[in-house]
Amino acid sequence: MSGTGCDIVALKAINVARSQQSRFYSKIITDVEKSFYDKALSAIMPLEHFVWLAWSVKESVYKFLQRGKPDLVFSPSKMVIQQLKVPASASSLTGGRGFDSDTVYKGLVMFDGRQFHSASVITGDFIFSAVNDSDDFTGIHWAVKKIGSSEPDVQSAEVRRLISGTLPDLFPRQDLRIEKSPHGYPFVSSGDKELPVIVSFAHHDHWIAYSFVLNN
């Protein structure tokens, strides 16, 4: 496991009609993915949910790669979801370590010759996705929370406050700081050194989320 990336979509903030238009969703999903949806998923979820599920997964892949490729351009149509396993039941969890395979959508994504695995939680309020470069998510810490404001400054402060409730347990007696790299991704430091934690933040409307993994 070498990293993580996550994304969240607030379902009550999306434009449903626009999301169902081919000229919009064709920028996010490929013809192959649309065909897969029509054959296997149309009876399970509305098209707009699939479109934004694909967006959240692909955005998560982009965040995973951005740390090592800061000049990478987000091109969702070049990322292809090849598999998507539907859960047996809905998830009621909003955080933890790892995912219950029976309650999350498990995906397999290909991009630029690399394979990524995704885990997505879908509720009536949001779609949250996290990706990994293996199908073992036991090392991924994550959390989702609803906040009272959709202002960017508040979102940023609240997601840092949310993760700050977990990190001190893993790095006791250290003065932890969450900083932003010149390329935009967050990292955790203590004193004058960066800690071996790979962090990803996400926010949309009144929802915030994070995922992180210890890179020992």
Q: Give yes or no for residue 179 having a pLDDT over 70.
A: yes
Considering only 99-103, 109-113, 114-118, 146-150, which range has the smallest mean pLDDT?
A: 99-103
Q: Helix, strand, or coil here: 48? A: helix
Q: Which residues contact 63 (CB under 8 A, 6 or more apart)?
A: 5, 6, 7, 185, 200, 202
d(CA 71, CA 30): 23
Smallest CA-to-CA distance from 215 within 198, 193, 194, 199 is with: 198
Query: Domain 5-140 classified CATH 3.30.1180.10?
Result: no
Element (H, E) at 52: helix 47-66
Q: How many CB atoms lie within 10 A of CB 196?
A: 11
Q: For position 216, what pLDDT does the model report? A: 65
When pLDDT is cut at 50, 70 and 90, the band that residue 1 belongs to is very low
Task: Report d(CA 36, CA 105) in Å as an integer.
Answer: 15
The string of pLDDT tens digits covering residues 61-80 is 999 999 889 899 999 999 99
pLDDT digits (tens, 9 = 90+) for 12-30: 999 999 999 999 999 999 9
For residues 204 and 13, give the distance between their C-alpha atoms in angstroms, rounded to a whole number. 8
Token output for 140? 């991924």
Q: What is this structure's pTM?
A: 0.95
Neighbours of 166 (CB within 10 A): 15
Once rounded to an integer, what is the mean pLDDT over residues 119-138?
95
Going by pLDDT thresholds of 50, 70 and 90, the confidence category of residue 126 is: very high
Torsion of CA 49, 208, 196, 175, to 10 degrees: -170
Share of the chain above pLDDT 70, in %: 99
Q: Quick one: pLDDT band at residue 183, thresholds 50, 70, 90?
A: confident
pLDDT confidence of 173, banded at 50, 70, 90?
confident
